[in-house]
């Protein structure tokens, strides 16, 4: 099912999940969402992973042809307890299921399948385990950050005068895609939807959106109201490019800002403040830092410059300036004011202090960072100045 | 919130939902998935639609700024019962929630919010209501089918000798995208994931996949194992292009097959059989036809030609030859052997009888059809021969 390095890394992930399970009230965890199956097995299957402190089994419906000691083919999830019993594995007293990652119908069905067992929510266990990355995950993320930066380097060359935001985005998406972006992006939460990333031209950056991203955007259609709006890119405005890197199932997040013609002094001031915030946070907040303190530190810098009204949106503002990334775009921890969680070495977070300047557009950058003992190490390294599109 | 034509069409959709509700045991339906909110309001919001036979309310968290008689802003779903009471609306005795479309955590939370009420699954109500399209939905779908066919016409010109399947797909995706494809694709079920569509070069069409699409494909990475595999397109093989049309939130589904060099006689025979099956089904099965009969009729034609072993996949075969389309790619009805459901005029279904020929690849086409009194009307009209890529 996997090569040796991956196999060894999967063992580490399993250990992390088991360590979090130790502190919980349940004795088994049954996983069946694509994101968590990929985390635990290195691939997406239509099936289930069953974990206790002593046992680990993979139950597969599709695809055909997988082989391994702990792999069992099933027709339906109700087969699982039967197989466990035939293997002499005691049925769980209290089982955890992914309440955030699977739909209510599946949750109900699995609950009934383990008749007599108590049922708890298990999504939090996996979110916690996934916060700190394993060595192989770190390798994937660093490599993805590099590949993402290489495509970003080409972005100015993809622009042609007179392009709409849609045409420009299509060209950038094409640039990512033909270099191996897997396209599809996993986002946590049934309300979130995303297509490779977003670009914001001019005032569209201030358009409110139903989605919980850092910025909104009207979208091409009310069917998918976020990001680009199918509008002209006009003189004197910015184009913010917020595309994802995702070549091996691990996502890095990166934003750069471009301009057409001259933009106002205040736009430059806000942009430089975004860079300064990231620099200061990288230097002053590493392992052990409190997430909420990071937000508040950044917000103080914004207040000092009197730029609060432009910070993190227009009329509708995001309540966070950063978030974990990994197999999903929006992992833990989230960097918002009241979050008392502390950073751990090996977490990977994206920081995106952004500003929306009326009549100009969005400014600022976003980078993905690895949390270290001493601070934050950027893994999406590329010039951060506002580049003119010509 | 919407123009007059849309407003009138939304009334029809609401009537359809209420008609299905009449036969159910619950007195209220609370909707909060993006697909169903879009269906009911014409836009995606972060919020809820509350429906009874007498009342209709929209409760919104995001975006800011929506206005309308029946629109109320809320901070959290627990505010809804309070607002209903303040408006003199009786609280439901039995409420239905979307058990397929929302996660278990949200289902649980909403259930608790309506304390004292019984709770049922309501996803089926919406799936049933959405089966038969309204006039405006039909207009969207027909226009989308036309726009999709226009892009498909360009596909041969997007091919360059020596391209990998990834490069070819990236060029086709780019062709769709810059012509206004909204990119993101709604699929029902938490296990399904899709990126604009799929292309299959040669034997990759036979690679088994965990996803429940008509064909598999290894994918670029185990993180997203379906469709293109990052391989060369080689002489003597086919490339099947199965991309979606989605310009206004309504999806049409269409497949055409291309070839590089000469392919075997049996590949042509299977391809022509796919066309013949669609022709016969279009002529013989309209309003009132039983879905399972359609499948069985098609399968008899396949048996007559002795092509069963190639039908609908390689080692792993799909169990259906068609499915409804609309705001989601996989709607009702599904055309599988045991489905006793009858076609209704105004349903929109995609038919995709496909074959996978070893050492050649996938052949056949797919079209989207409107069910009429007399048969099926194709809305993705374009030449269906296998076109040579040069």
Apex CA B179: angle with CA B177 and CA B183, to 5°? 30
Burial of A213 (0-12, 13-18, 19+ CB in 10 A): buried
Interface touch B46/A190, C-beta < 8 Å: no
For the segment A105-139, what is each residue's pLDDT rounded down to a tens digit?
999 999 999 999 999 999 999 999 999 999 999 99
> Residue A177 and residue B169: Cβ atoms within 8 Å?
yes
**Contact yes or no for A190 and B103 at CB 8 A:** yes
Residues B126 and B249 in one domain: no
What six digits make up the tokens of A85? 């019993």
Residues 6+ apart with CB under 8 A from A20: A125, A128, A129
- Write b or e for each residue in B191-226: b if 16 or more Cβ atoms lie within 10 A of its Cβ, otherwise e: bbbbbbbbbbbbbbbbbbbbbbbbbbbbbbbbbbbb
In the numeric block, which tokens belong to residue B222? 């185990």
The distance in angstroms from the start CA to the end CA of chain B is 49
Residues 6+ apart with CB under 8 A from B118: B26, B93, B94, B95
Which of A165, A224, A252 should we substitute to test contact with B (largest number of B Cβ atoms within 10 Å)? Answer: A224
The pLDDT tens digits for A209-242 are: 999 999 999 999 999 999 999 999 999 999 999 9
CA distance B86 to chain A (A): 26
Q: Is-contact A364 A355, C-beta < 8 A?
A: yes
Is B1's pLDDT higher than 70? no
Q: Does residue A126 sit in the same domain as residue A163?
A: no
Contact A78/B at CB under 8 A: no
Q: Which residues of A touch B121 (CB under 8 A)?
A: 104-105
B4 Cβ under 8 Å from any chain A Cβ = no
Residues A70/A101/A180/A350 CA torsion (nearest 10 deg): -120
Kind plus residue range of the DSSP H or E element containing B336: none
Domain containing A52: what range?
Answer: 4-130
Average pLDDT over residues B134-153: 98
A214 and A299 both lie in a single domain: yes
Q: Report how many Cβ contacts below 8 Å link chain A to chain B.
A: 217
Closest-approach residue (CA) in chain B for A221: B248
Q: Are the beta carbons of B103 and A225 separated by less than 8 Å?
A: no
Is the domain of B139 the same as that of B113? no
Percent of chain A clearing pLDDT 70 (strictly above): 99
- Cβ-based contacts of A75 with chain B (< 8 Å): none
Q: How far does the CA of residue B202 sit from the closest CA of chain A (Å)?
A: 19
| Predicted ipTM of the assembly | 0.97
Q: Do A113 and A157 share a domain, yes or no?
A: no
Q: What angle do CA A45, A49, A55 make, to 5 degrees?
A: 145
* Lowest mean pLDDT across A2-16, B93-107, B166-180: A2-16
Q: Would the pLDDT of B196 be above 60?
A: yes
Quote the pLDDT of residue A111. 97
Contact at CB, B225 and A63, closer than 8 angstroms: yes
| End residue of a domain, out of A86, A112, A130 | A130
- pLDDT confidence of residue A42: 97
Give the minimum alpha-carbon distance from B103 to chain A in angstroms, rounded to a whole number.
4
Residues 93-112 (A) with a CB less than 8 A from some CB of B = 97-108
Closest residue on chain A to B228 (Cα): A182
> Best mutation site among B67, B111, B169, B177 for testing chain A: the one with the most A CBs within 10 Å?
B177
Mutate to test the interface with A, among B1, B9, B63, B328 (most CBs of A within 10 A): B63
CA neighbor of B331 nearest in space, from B124, B120, B40: B124
Are residues B37 and B91 both part of a single domain?
yes
- Which pLDDT score is estimated for B109? 98
Q: How many C-beta neighbours within 10 Å does residue A46 have?
A: 17
Give the CATH number, domain containing residue B343: 3.90.230.10
Q: Using the beta-carbon criterion (under 8 Å), do A248 and B223 form an inter-chain contact?
A: yes
CA distance B173 to chain A (A): 8
Q: Are B249 and B152 contained in the same domain?
A: yes
Q: Residue A381 above 60 pLDDT?
A: yes
Q: Based on the fold, state whether residues A150 and A8 are members of the same structural domain.
A: no
Q: Most B CBs within 10 Å: which of A164, A183, A312, as the mutation test of the B interface?
A: A183
Separation of CA A228 from chain center: 20
Q: Which residues contact A383 (CB under 8 A, 6 or more apart)?
A: none
Give me the pLDDT at residue A271, please. 98
A85 touches chain B (CB under 8 A): no
Label residue B2 by pLDDT band (50, 70, 90): low
| Same-domain check for residues B226 and B350 | yes
In our burial notation (b when 16+ CB lie closer than 10 A, e otherwise), range B36-69 reads: bbbbbbbbbbbbbbbbbeeebbbbbbbbeebeee
Report residue B390 as tokens.
């040069």
Q: Place B69 in a pLDDT band, splitting at 50, 70 and 90.
A: confident
Place of tokens 């300047």: A357
Chain B residue numbers touching A106 (CB-CB < 8 A): 104, 190
- Nearest CA to CA, how far is A286 from chain B (Å)? 30
pLDDT in tens, B330-357: 999 999 999 999 999 999 999 999 999 9
Question: What does the DSSP 8-state code read for residue B237?
Answer: E
Are the C-beta atoms of residues B164 and B231 closer than 8 Å to each other? yes
Distance from CA of B224 to the nearest CA of A (A): 7
- Nearest chain A residue to B98 by CA distance is A104
Domain termination residue (choose one: A130, A145, A174): A130
Q: How many alpha carbons lie under 13 Å from residue A69 in its C-beta half-sphere?
A: 2
Nearest to B64 among A44, A177, A315 (CB): A315
A140 and A271 belong to one structural domain: yes
Q: Which residues of B touch A212 (CB under 8 A)?
A: 46, 62
| Averaged confidence pLDDT in chain B | 97
Mean pLDDT of all residues belonging to chain A = 97
Number of domains into which chain A is organized? 2
Angle at A254 between CA A252 and CA A260, to 5 degrees: 155
Same domain, residue pair B338 and B202: yes
Note which residues in 172-231 of chain A have CB less than 8 A from chain B: 173-174, 177-178, 180, 182-184, 186, 189-191, 193-196, 208-212, 216, 219-225, 230
Q: What is the mean pLDDT of residues A253-273?
A: 98
- My answer on whether A88 and A51 are in the same domain is yes
> Does B165 lie at the interface with A, CB-CB under 8 angstroms?
no
Specify the pLDDT at position A84: 97
* Residue written as token pair 């099936």: A47
pLDDT band at A23, cuts 50/70/90? confident
B64 in reach of chain A (CB within 8 A) = yes
Q: If you average pLDDT over residues B1-14, what whole number do you get?
A: 89
* Residues of B whose CB is below 8 A from A140: none
- Confirm if A346 and A138 have CB atoms less than 8 A apart: yes
Token pair recorded at residue B249: 């939130």
pLDDT tier at B124, thresholds 50, 70, 90: very high
Q: Do A177 and B166 touch (CB under 8 A)?
A: yes
Among chain A residues, CA nearest to B247 = A221
Residue B234's pLDDT is what? 97
The pLDDT confidence band at residue B23, using thresholds 50, 70 and 90, is: confident
Tokens of A319: 């309540």
Domain stops at, among A130, A164, A195: A130
Q: What is the pTM of this model?
A: 0.97
Q: Chain B, 293-322: which have a CB under 8 Å from a chain A CB?
A: 315-316
Residue B42 sits in a domain whose CATH number is 3.40.350.10
B63/A contact by beta carbon, under 8 A: yes
Which pLDDT value is given to residue A2?
A: 54
A45–chain B Cβ distance below 8 A for any pair: yes
């Amino acid at each position: 099912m996997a090569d040796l390095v991956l196999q060894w890394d999967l063992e580490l992930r399993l250990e992390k999940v088991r360590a979090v399970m130790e502190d919980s009230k349940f004795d088994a965890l049954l996983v069946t969402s694509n994101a968590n199956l990929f985390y635990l097995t290195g691939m997406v299957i239509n099936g289930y992973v069953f974990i206790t402190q002593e046992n680990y089994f993979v139950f597969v419906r599709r695809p055909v042809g997988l082989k391994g000691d702990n792999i069992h083919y099933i027709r339906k999830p109700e087969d699982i307890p039967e197989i466990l019993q035939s293997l002499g594995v005691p049925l769980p007293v209290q089982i955890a299921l992914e309440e955030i990652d699977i739909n209510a119908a599946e949750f109900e069905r699995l609950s009934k399948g383990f008749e007599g067992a108590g049922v708890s929510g298990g999504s939090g266990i996996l979110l916690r385990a996934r916060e700190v990355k394993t060595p192989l995950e770190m390798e994937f993320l660093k490599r993805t950050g590099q590949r993402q930066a290489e495509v970003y380097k080409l972005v100015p060359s993809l622009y042609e005068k007179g392009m709409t935001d849609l045409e420009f985005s299509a060209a950038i998406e094409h640039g990512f895609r033909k270099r191996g972006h897997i396209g599809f992006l996993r986002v946590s939460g049934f309300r979130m939807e995303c297509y490779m990333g977003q670009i914001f031209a001019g005032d569209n950056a201030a358009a409110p959106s139903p989605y919980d991203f850092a910025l909104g955007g009207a979208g091409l259609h009310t069917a998918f109201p976020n990001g680009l709006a199918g509008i002209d890119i006009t003189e004197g405005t910015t184009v913010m490019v917020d595309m994802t890197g995702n070549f091996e199932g691990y996502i890095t997040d990166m934003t750069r800002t471009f301009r057409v013609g001259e933009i106002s002094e205040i736009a430059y001031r806000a942009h430089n403040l975004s860079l300064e915030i990231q620099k200061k946070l990288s230097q002053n907040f590493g392992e052990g830092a409190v997430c909420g303190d990071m937000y508040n530190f950044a917000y103080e810098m914004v207040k000092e410059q009197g730029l609060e009204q432009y910070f993190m949106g227009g009329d509708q503002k995001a309540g966070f300036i950063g978030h974990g990334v990994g197999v999903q775009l929006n992992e833990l921890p989230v960097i918002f004011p009241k979050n008392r969680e502390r950073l751990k070495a090996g977490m990977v977070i994206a920081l995106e202090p952004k500003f929306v300047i009326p009549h100009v557009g969005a400014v600022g950058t976003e980078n993905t960072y690895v949390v270290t003992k001493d601070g934050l190490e950027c893994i999406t390294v590329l010039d951060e100045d506002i580049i003119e599109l010509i």
